Amino acid sequence: MTSTETWILCYVFDFLFWAWIIWWGGAKWLEATLASPFFVRCRAPGWSSEGIRVFAWLCLLVSVVVFAMGIFVPDLRCWSSSCE
């Protein structure tokens, strides 16, 4: 299980990454580049910047839900089967 501070810090980094793609020009930067499979998804080089932004919105939505679940139910923060 991770501490609350670590959980929040991981979420902040995750949020900033998706916010960069959605609002701060990250989608334009990633559009049709070889870096997009490493940052977004393996099929992303064929996507337009709007497609990358939609994917980022969906990931951000899932991220918010998982973060809230982890805040209210700390046992769900475990990322490996060895957590007890």
- Residue pLDDT, tens place only, 59-72: 999 999 989 988 88
Tell me the pTM: 0.76
Angle, helix 4-23 to helix 49-72, in steps of 10 degrees:
160
- Per-residue pLDDT, averaged over 15-42, amounts to 79
Query: Hey, where are the domains in the chain?
Result: 4-75
pLDDT at residue 79 tops 70: no
Higher pLDDT, 81 or 55: 55
What is the mean predicted confidence (pLDDT) over 8-20?
92
User: What is the C-alpha end-to-end distance of the chain, expressed in Å?
Assistant: 7
CA atoms within 13 A on the CB side of 46: 2
Tally the residues of the chain: 84
What one-character DSSP code corresponds to residue 46? Answer: G
